[in-house]
Amino acid sequence: MVHNKKSQSVDWEHLIAGISGENAPVKCRKNGSIFWQGDPADSLFYLRRGQVRLGVTSGQGKEAIVAVLSAGEFFGEGCLAGQPLRMATATATCVCTLMKIEKRLMLRMLHEQHDVSQMLVTHLLSRNIRYEKDLLDQIFNSSEKRLARILLLLAHYGREPRSKTILTRINQETLAQTVGITQTRVSHLMNKFKKLGFIDYKGVGLAVNNGLLSVVLSD
C-alpha cells in the first residue's frame, strides 16, 4: 500500500490504546481465524505486526482471497458503516499482533476527534485505491506481472531505502489464490524470479529485490 505523508505520521497504536484500557494488544497464532464470514460485525482491528489474509467463500464453497494485509493496516471497518455481518474471513498468515477496537468506542472517538476521523478516512481511501489497482491488475496484466506486483506490495516497495526488503514468507497457496493462478504456476514463477536474482529465501523470510519492478514495468 502507498501511504501519503500524513497517514504515515499518524501514531495509530497510541490513539487506539487511548480509547480504552481494555484494548490491549492480542496475539493470534499462524493460521488462526480472527473472525469468520457471517460473524456479527461489532468491532474493527488494527494490525501491529504480521500479515492477515481476507478471504470470501461462495455458496458453492469456493474461496477467493480478496486482500493480504500488512502491519499498519485496519480491517473489519465495515461495522462503522452499518455492516451487520462480516463479509469475509480474516486469517493470520503468521503470528500476528492485533489491536481490537469495539465499534461503539471507535465511533465515539471519530465523533469527538474530527482530525482523527479525517486521518482514518484518508487511510482507508488509500487502501481502497490499492484494491482498485489490484482489480485492474487482475483484469489486464499477465500472471507474471500480477505475482511480481503482489510481492513488491508485501515487501513495502518504495517505503524502504534498501535494495532488498524482507517479508515473512507467504505460502504459495495463498499467493496462488491472491494472484488468481494455480499453485504450480506460482512455483514456476517464483523459481524464475529466484534464478533472475529478484527474490531469495532467507530462513523463514523472503528477500525481495527492487529489481523485480522491471517485471511489472515490462511491455
The reported pLDDT for the residue numbered 3 is 40
CATH architecture, domain defined by 142-217: Orthogonal Bundle (1.10)
Q: At residue 120, does pLDDT exceed 60?
A: yes
- Note the maximum CA span of the chain: 54
For residue range 61-109, list pLDDT tens digits in order: 877 888 888 888 999 999 998 899 999 999 998 899 999 999 998 898 8
Give me the pLDDT at residue 21, please.
Answer: 57
Q: Where are the domains of the chain?
A: 5-137, 142-217
Phi, psi of 196 (to 5 degrees): -80, -5
Burial of 130 (C-beta count, 10 Å sphere; 0-12/13-18/19+): middle
Q: What was the pLDDT predicted at 74?
A: 92
Higher pLDDT, 218 or 121: 121
Residue 134 has pLDDT above 60, yes or no: yes
Residue-wise pLDDT for 184-193, tens only, equals: 999 999 999 9
pLDDT exceeds cutoff 80 at 147: yes
Q: Nearest 5 degrees, angle CA 71-CA 55-CA 121? A: 50
Pairing of β 43-49 and β 74-75: antiparallel
- Name the pTM for this structure: 0.67
pLDDT recorded at residue 188: 93
Would you tell me which CATH number, out of the four given (2.130.10.10, 2.60.120.10, 1.10.3470.10, 1.10.287.310), belongs to the domain 5-137? 2.60.120.10
